[in-house]
Structures are given as structure tokens and as C-alpha cells.
A and B are shown apart, each in its own frame.
Chain A
Amino acid sequence: MKLHKKDNFSRRNFLKTSVLASGGMLIGFNFLTACKPEAKMPVTIDNLNFNDFNAYIKISEEGYVTIFSPNPEIGQGVKTAMPMIIAEELDVAWKNVTVAQADLDTKNFKRQVAGGSQSIRSSWSVLRETGATAKQMLMQAAANKWQVDKSTLKVANGIITNNNGETLGYGDVVKEAALLEVPEKVTLKALKDFTIIGKDALNVDLHKIITGQSLYGLDYKAEGMVYATVLRPPAFGQELVSFDATEAKKINGVLEVVTIGKKVRKFKNSGEKNWSFSLSSSDKVVVVAKNTWAAIKGKKAIKAKWKTITALESTEQHNIVLNAILNDKKGKVRREDGNVKKAFANADKVIEKTYSAPFLPHNCMEPMNFYANITKEKVHLVGPIQTPEAAANIVGKMFGFTQDKIHLEMTRMGGGFGRRLYGDFVFEVAEIANKIQKPVKLIATREDDMTTGIYRPSTKYKITAALKDGEISGYQLKEAAINGNMYGSIAHFFPAGCIPNYKVESGNYKSNITTGAWRAPYTNFLAFAEQTFFDELATELKIDPIQLRLDLLENLDPKKDKRIQYSGKRTKDVIELVREKGNWGNVPVGVYQGFATYYSHNTHVAEIADIEIKNGLPVIKKITVAVDCGIVVNPTGAKNQIEGGVLDGIGHAMYANFSLKDGKPEYKNFDTYRLIRMNETPIVEVHFVENNLKPTGLGEPGLPPAGGAVANAINAALGKRLYNQPFIKDLQKQTILG
């Protein structure tokens, strides 16, 4: 995804100011695109126009600052961290800053997406420059008032002081400041002068969350709103034939039963490409009711007939086809260095291992839901979505509305993990609203989410290494995934550039099971396979596993190869830091350690797992984590992300099983689908590498190495290598067999 056209662009273009009718100053700015020169700034807050500016800062005459933060919040903390960056350069007290979630701009909003851990990374410079520009204009206004030179003034916490000790608050000069020219040059603060960035700031929605206020899509209500549940085909590969709604209609509160599907199909067939359209094009039965309970009961009471139109696939069969890809088929070569064939022919020893992982549903704690109201004149959409722009765009096309007639409000999201990148439920609710001509909220049950979801593809890896004279002379990795997983740049991650003869290839099996991005897509399982493989190679080569990584990194020369994605130095930094903080090799008797390191989403991470064994099963006690994500904007938020990512990684690697039989998912709810719970969690201790580099992602990078670190510790304790996720299946087999 290309985020920046260029890094520096004219401030005059991306930032404009105006005086508000209600008093105060409004600063509009744009993260990634220079806006049109004729772009107008509104004079009232109600008229914020996100077509030209995708974010606004309001400074009131009382000196309070409101930041209209545009990025969707899925729990990754950007709603706190992004305004912190503005406040830092603006030099206001953090306690005088409030943050409001901005609605969607339907025209020019280029990066209103929460995904890929990129929010902070892609907006760091613009946020800083915006804050600094506003500060400079406020100072200039004060200088004009006092008739002194701006350079003689000092600012702290929103108060400007002159040489005579006189003060003016920002609020006192906002009106004048708003009328000044936007300066072309501003000076950014020296990093050492930061007072907000690098200090803990509490989650801005904290109070609302802990007092149970309406925040999430599921909480949203509108006048006259009805509730809808959707009955979708029970198996992948099936379509609706007919249904009987007699019983459903008898239920108190059920208003009507309708079908949808036509609009999506028509749109799909028109050749529009959108990643949500891998979803079923079957007709679906919708139960519309006065309340959620009636809608849920009504759906259960529908008697539907389904027909099979494409093969009903099963996990057993997937295992066979994926193994066949690994063993018998040529893959698509993603990268090839040196002469792999020769390296293997001349090897002293060849090690080959196969790794396997199931599909994974996202299981956001807040089930999928969305509100829509479609009238002749306009469309109103409200809810949790990671890709609001695409969703609004498609709804417009589907129902013949131009984008200025669509208003999309984003709510806080009860988790995303990739699932809310896909707007299928937005299109469904839009079709329902259009059909029944009422404001309506679609609500999915947990069973709907788990059985008609979009899954992390079931994936297998075969990794092979050639060993020669105590060195790794050749390395081959092959991926086989349902519908594909890997993409181009992954092949240029570690150990690319460290091993002379190297090859990565991938193959896939086209399936009718819907698959897609899942937290740390592409690498959430790859990291496990690779990092346990290197652990095994270290054992084979009789070398400390950390030392093996460090030795390999010595071979890397990124100057020679521009495709290399990771930094050797930053990888070494996190390895060294975790080795020290995690007391590698220096733990009490009965504690076993495992190590893994991984680079993803521009962030380098290394982890050490400490485990003990009780009743033949591992108890994970502690994970020490070292992270290089550049400058840490909000340490408490950053740690929270890493803690969560690590535990999420461990939980899914240990417990999460998912399978299909005859096209039907065999896991439907949390009674059988196992998520990690508090009594199974280790302490996660997070350390950051200190440097002055641009901040990078945090939502995802903690996850990939976690499973590998734990598996390697389990091997250290039990002498048992784990090749399949979830680990618990193989571990239980082992304990039962003694």
C-alpha cells in the first residue's frame, strides 16, 4: 500500500485556519494529500468538511483544545497517541485536550484505515508539523499584540510569556492567529524537549469504558430503529433454495422476514473488485424485529432449504491438498539467491520439517453489527468498520448515491484483528435498510461470526536447510495455504540476505472458504514455523540459539540488496536487549527458556519465554519482550499493545482449533472454541529499545514471535518439538501416552 506521495509537502496546502463564529480558532489539516488551494474552512463546528481536511483542531477562547481524530479506534490506542503528537508540538497541557472521533470524509480521505499497524507511522510528520505550525501562528499573534519579536517569546502549556513576564493564553490570541498567513517553515521541537510524547497518557475513552457509556456500534440507537438478524448458508458452497417463515412470524416482536442478496450479486457481477465480495452470493433470509431477542429467536425459527452448488470442503481434505502442494507441486518463486540445488546436493546433512496451522476466526469481542438508514435523499451509516471509505463507496455505487449523500459515522470498535477490514456486514445492512425502508441495525450472534466468517487461511510450511561444515549453506521455505497467504515482500524478511543459497516459494489451493487478513497477516504463523526451525538448527549445530541468529545476521549487507525489509542492526538490538532483560541461560532449576525474534509491520521484536512443567504440561510463567518501534509515543498504550499481542499469540498457538466438515465449521462458540483466559496467562514484561527513529506499528508485531518462543521453551523442557498449532492437541496426546 502506498501511503505517501512524498514526505514533504507544502504546509500552505495541507493546513488552513479560520475564525469560528462561536469564537476560537479552527485549524484544518490533511494527513497525506495536499488539499485543493481553494479549499474553504468552515466557520461553525457543525460544518466540518472532511472533503478537504481530514482532521481539525479547535482552540477555544478559553484555551481548550479539541482534536477531531480521524482514525478508527479498534483498541490499538491511536485515538490517544495521535492527538498526543499534535499536543506535543502545539505545546498545550495534555489535560486541556479533548479528542472527538471524526466522521468519515467520503471524498478525499486517503488513509482512514486501521490496519497494518500503520496509523502512527504514516502520520507522524504531518501531526508534528501541524502542531508546530499552529503554535508558531499563535506566537506570532502574541508578538504582534505586544509589538515584540516572536523570537523573544516563550511558550509552555498553552501560555505565551514575553520578556517582561506578561502572559497571554492561546485563547487570548486565537482570533488574531487564525487570520495570519500559514508559515512555510516551522521548527520542530528537539526530541529531548518532549514533555507529552514518551510520557504515559491514559486511554482517552477510559472513563466512558469503565462506566458503561454508549460507545460501540452495538450500543448505537436511532429513532424508530429496528433490529435484524441474517440467516446465511450453513455451509460454504451452499445457496438458499427456499424458506418457511411461518413459525418465525409467530414470535412476538418479529416484524417481517425478507431476503437479500440480489444487490450484492449484481454489484459483484458488474466486475467491481472488492475484497469483501469473496463472500457468499447466496440469497440470505433476514428477520426484522422490534428488539434483538426477537430477531435472534426469529432466525432460529426459520426453516430453510439449501442446495449445494460448489464442493463442500473439509479440513481432512485440505490437509491432503496442502501436503500435495508442499511435496509434489512447483510453487511461485518469491525469491531465489545463489544455487540452492547445488547447496543441497553438497550438504553434509539436510534437515526438513513441516508445520501446520488451522483456519482461525477473528472473534472480535463485539460481534459484527452495523446501522443503516436509506431514504430517497441520503444514506446514513453508523458502526464499527476498519475501512469506512471503501464501505461508503460501495454502498453509494450499489444504491445509486453520490458520495456527498452518504454520511458514515464510526464508532469505537470492540476489536478488529483484521475482521473489520471487510465490509460485508455494511453491504448487508444497507440492502436490508433499502428493502424495508426503515432505520435498521444488523446484529450478528457469536455463532454467525464464527461460522460465516473470514478466516486466517489454513497454512502449511515445509522448511529445509542444508548444513555444510557446521554452517547453514542452504535454506528453502515453501508455503501452501488455502487461497494463498504470503505476498512479495515477506520473502525478503529474515533470513533473506543471511544465507547464500536461499529460496522461498508459495502455492495455494483455491477454496470456497472465505479467508482474509487476521492480526499480523502473512506472518502470524510463518514466524512460528521459521523461529522453531532455527531453534532446531541451533540444537543440530550445537550452538546457542541466540548466538545462531546473531552469527547469521553478520552476513547481512543491506546495501547490497535493496529488497531486504528488516534491519540487521535493529534485529541485533532487540536480541541483545531481550537476552539481558530476560536473563537468558540464567534461570532457576525447573524453569526452561525459549527464544524467538521477528520483524513485522516495520517493528523489530524479540521474546524469551520462561516456562515450568506441571503434570506433564507446560505452564508459561513469563515472556520478556524487547521492542524496537522507534520513538515510543505513549508508553502505557504501547506496552498494552505488546502485552495483548503476545498473549494473543500464545493463546492462539496453544489452544485455538478450528476445522470444517462438509463445508460446515465445527466450532461455533466459546464453549468449544478455546481462547486464552486469565489463569493461563504469563506475565509479559516489555522493554523498548531507545532511539530517535520515527515511530512504527505496535498493534501486531508483538504477536508473531510469541508462539515460537513458547514452543522452543517447551522443547527445552520436554525435548518435544511442536510442529502443529494448536500445541495443546499434540501436548495432550503426549501426556496421555505418558
Chain B
Amino acid sequence: MPNYTLNVNGQQRQVTADEDTPLLWVLRDELDLVGTKFGCGIAQCGACTVHIDGVAMRSCQMQVSILDGTKITTIEGLSVDGKHPVQEAWKTIDVPQCGYCQAGQIMTASAFLAENKNPTEKEIRNAMHGNICRCASYNRIEKAVKLAAKNL
């Protein structure tokens, strides 16, 4: 099996994996970063969202072999101790129910707000519509994104 060096959360990490292994499973199984979640495996739910060079991407569809030279950020590396404004907003609004989808929601929201500092409600709803929350905590996710936009 080939070796890869990945830049994850600011650290160089060595992994051995088949080249078609999705980043999702490299993060979870090899690097012990289990915050990134598995929901569908086909880029439909957003539970596995990470940032690749600051852009929100579905890690279930990213092969480990194409990530050379990129900067990968996962929920664990988004901030020190959960202090990112999006995470803070998630706390203030008490968003989660089961909580399983929330890392993906936060990663989508944080990449979106980095691009669009002053989004309209419609833009927020469109930007977040790729992330499923089976518990349907959508009202609170929407509120938290609005709050984070204000505080950024």
C-alpha cells in the first residue's frame, strides 16, 4: 500500500492507505480524527464535510491520493477548544439534538461565512441545504449561522 503525507489541521501526517481510500476513512480509522462523520458515502448528506484549502468538501468522495499539497481542516482543527465564532454560535443557540450531523453543518457554515460575510437568509438556506439533519434541527442551525455572521 502506498504512503501519503497529508497536511491535516496544520500537522504533517503520514498514512498508509490504498489510493482509492476516501479521506473520510483515513481521518477516522488511521488518524483517529472521528469528528468527521459518515452518513451516506455518496456526497448527499454533508456529515463528512471538511475544508480542503478552506473550501467545504465531502471527504467521503475525496480520494486520499489526490490530496498532496493541500491543507485539510477537520472539525478538530477548526479552532482551539471550540472557540470559532460558528462553534460559539452553535453553543449559544443550543443547536444539537442527537448531534451527529453537527460537525458537518459547522464545517459547511464556517467555509460559507468565510466567503460571504454578510449573507441573506436565502443565501444561508441555500448554502446549508446540502447538509441533512435527520433530527431536523434546521431552525436552530439557521439561527446559529445568522448569529455567527453577526459575530465574525
Which residues from A are CB-within-8-Å of B42? 446, 669-671
Query: How long is the Cα–Cα vector from A678 to B126 in the complex, in angstroms?
Result: 8
Check B32–A211 contact: CB distance below 8 A: no
Check B136–A644 contact: CB distance below 8 A: yes
Which residues from A are CB-within-8-Å of B34? 212, 214, 218-219, 221
Q: Which of A604-655 contact B (CB under 8 A)?
A: 636-637, 640-641, 643-648, 651
How far, in Å, is A605 (CB) from chain B's closest CB? 16
Which residues from A are CB-within-8-Å of B125? 678-679
Say whether A733 faces chain B, with CB atoms less than 8 Å apart.
Answer: no
Q: Which of B18, B81, B138 contacts A293 (CB 8 A)?
A: B18
Say whether A179 faces chain B, with CB atoms less than 8 Å apart.
Answer: no
Say whether B141 faces chain A, with CB atoms less than 8 Å apart.
Answer: yes
Q: Which of B1, B17, B21, B44 contacts A669 (CB 8 A)?
A: B44
Query: How long is the Cα–Cα vector from A646 to B82 in the complex, in angstroms?
Result: 30
Query: How long is the Cα–Cα vector from A459 to B29 in the complex, in angstroms?
Result: 41
Check A218–B37 contact: CB distance below 8 A: yes
Which residues from A are CB-within-8-Å of B72? none
Q: Which of A137-145, A198-206, A264-272, A467-475 contacts B (4 or more CB under 8 A)?
A: A198-206
Q: Which of B30, B39, B139 contacts A291 (CB 8 A)?
A: B30
Say whether A117 faces chain B, with CB atoms less than 8 Å apart.
Answer: no
Question: Interface majority SS on B: helix, strand, loop or mixed?
Answer: loop
Query: How long is the Cα–Cα vector from A31 to B132 in the complex, in angstroms?
Result: 36
Say whether B7 faces chain A, with CB atoms less than 8 Å apart.
Answer: no
Query: How long is the Cα–Cα vector from A680 to B37 in the complex, in angstroms?
Result: 24
Contacts known (A445-B41, A678-B125, A679-B125); A206 close to B96, Cβ less than 8 A: yes
Contacts between chains A and B (CB distance < 8 A), count:
186
Check A213–B35 contact: CB distance below 8 A: yes
- Of the listed residues B1, B36, B87, B141, the one surrounded by the most CB atoms of chain A closer than 10 A to its CB is B87
Say whether A74 faces chain B, with CB atoms less than 8 Å apart.
Answer: yes
Say whether A207 faces chain B, with CB atoms less than 8 Å apart.
Answer: yes
Check B29–A446 contact: CB distance below 8 A: no
Check B99–A647 contact: CB distance below 8 A: no
Say whether B52 faces chain A, with CB atoms less than 8 Å apart.
Answer: no
Query: How long is the Cα–Cα vector from A211 to B102 in the complex, in angstroms?
Result: 9
Check B96–A210 contact: CB distance below 8 A: yes
Check B98–A366 contact: CB distance below 8 A: yes
Query: How long is the Cα–Cα vector from A202 to B33 in the complex, in angstroms?
Result: 25
- Of the listed residues B39, B47, B97, B126, the one surrounded by the most CB atoms of chain A closer than 10 A to its CB is B97
Q: Which of A402-439 contact B (CB under 8 A)?
A: 412-417
Contacts known (A75-B135, A212-B74, A366-B37); A293 close to B29, Cβ less than 8 A: yes
How far, in Å, is B4 (CB) from chain A's closest CB? 14
Closest to A677 in B: B129
Check B99–A215 contact: CB distance below 8 A: yes
Check A670–B44 contact: CB distance below 8 A: yes
Say whether B8 faces chain A, with CB atoms less than 8 Å apart.
Answer: no
Q: Which of B103-134 contact A (CB under 8 A)?
A: 103, 106, 125-126, 128-134
Which residues from B are CB-within-8-Å of A293? 17-18, 21-22, 25, 29
Which residues from B are CB-within-8-Å of A76? 97
How far, in Å, is B83 (CB) from chain A's closest CB? 10
Say whether A21 faces chain B, with CB atoms less than 8 Å apart.
Answer: no
Which residues from B are CB-within-8-Å of A683? 139
Query: How long is the Cα–Cα vector from A675 to B47 in the complex, in angstroms?
Result: 14
Say whether A333 faces chain B, with CB atoms less than 8 Å apart.
Answer: no
Closest to A200 in B: B94
Say whether A153 faces chain B, with CB atoms less than 8 Å apart.
Answer: no
Query: How long is the Cα–Cα vector from A205 to B103 in the complex, in angstroms?
Result: 13
Say whether A33 faces chain B, with CB atoms less than 8 Å apart.
Answer: no
Say whether A190 faces chain B, with CB atoms less than 8 Å apart.
Answer: no
Contacts known (A75-B97, A415-B134, A648-B136); A253 close to B18, Cβ less than 8 A: yes
Check B103–A210 contact: CB distance below 8 A: yes
Q: Which of B38, B45, B82 contacts A210 (CB 8 A)?
A: B82
Check A684–B139 contact: CB distance below 8 A: yes
Which residues from A are CB-within-8-Å of B130? 677
Q: Which of B12-57 contact A (CB under 8 A)?
A: 17-18, 21-22, 25, 28-30, 32-42, 44-45, 47
Say whether A351 faces chain B, with CB atoms less than 8 Å apart.
Answer: no
Say whether A736 faces chain B, with CB atoms less than 8 Å apart.
Answer: no
Query: How long is the Cα–Cα vector from A77 to B96 in the complex, in angstroms?
Result: 10
Check A644–B21 contact: CB distance below 8 A: no
Check A678–B138 contact: CB distance below 8 A: yes
Check B135–A648 contact: CB distance below 8 A: yes
Check A221–B47 contact: CB distance below 8 A: no
Query: How long is the Cα–Cα vector from A445 to B40 in the complex, in angstroms?
Result: 7
Which residues from B are CB-within-8-Å of A515? none
Binary A-proximity of B59-87 (CB < 8 A = 1, otherwise 0): 00000000000000011100001100001
- Of the listed residues A207, A212, A415, the one surrounded by the most CB atoms of chain B closer than 10 A to its CB is A212
Check B1–A364 contact: CB distance below 8 A: no
Closest to A209 in B: B99
Say whether A252 faces chain B, with CB atoms less than 8 Å apart.
Answer: yes
Check A212–B76 contact: CB distance below 8 A: yes
Check A643–B139 contact: CB distance below 8 A: yes
Check A669–B137 contact: CB distance below 8 A: no
Contacts known (A211-B35, A252-B1); A205 close to B40, Cβ less than 8 A: no
Check B138–A647 contact: CB distance below 8 A: yes
Check B98–A365 contact: CB distance below 8 A: yes
Check A643–B134 contact: CB distance below 8 A: no
Check B134–A365 contact: CB distance below 8 A: yes
Query: How long is the Cα–Cα vector from A133 to B40 in the complex, in angstroms?
Result: 48
Check A640–B137 contact: CB distance below 8 A: yes
Check A644–B137 contact: CB distance below 8 A: yes
Closest to A202 in B: B94
Q: With A646-B136, A680-B129 given, can you name 13 additional A-B contacts, CB distance below 8 Å?
A: A210-B82, A210-B87, A210-B103, A292-B38, A293-B29, A365-B39, A365-B98, A366-B37, A367-B39, A415-B100, A637-B94, A670-B42, A677-B129
Chain A interface residues toward B at CB < 8 A = 74-77, 200, 202-203, 205-207, 209-216, 218-219, 221, 227, 252-253, 291-294, 296, 363-367, 412-417, 445-446, 636-637, 640-641, 643-648, 651, 669-671, 675-681, 683-684
Chain A to chain B contacts (Cβ below 8 Å), 30 pairs: A75-B98, A203-B99, A209-B99, A210-B75, A213-B35, A214-B34, A216-B37, A218-B34, A291-B30, A293-B22, A293-B25, A293-B29, A364-B134, A365-B47, A365-B134, A366-B37, A412-B99, A414-B101, A415-B100, A417-B134, A446-B41, A446-B42, A640-B137, A640-B140, A641-B97, A669-B41, A670-B39, A670-B42, A675-B134, A678-B141
Smallest CB-CB A-B distances: 9 pairs: A212-B35, A75-B98, A414-B100, A212-B75, A647-B136, A209-B99, A670-B44, A219-B34, A75-B97
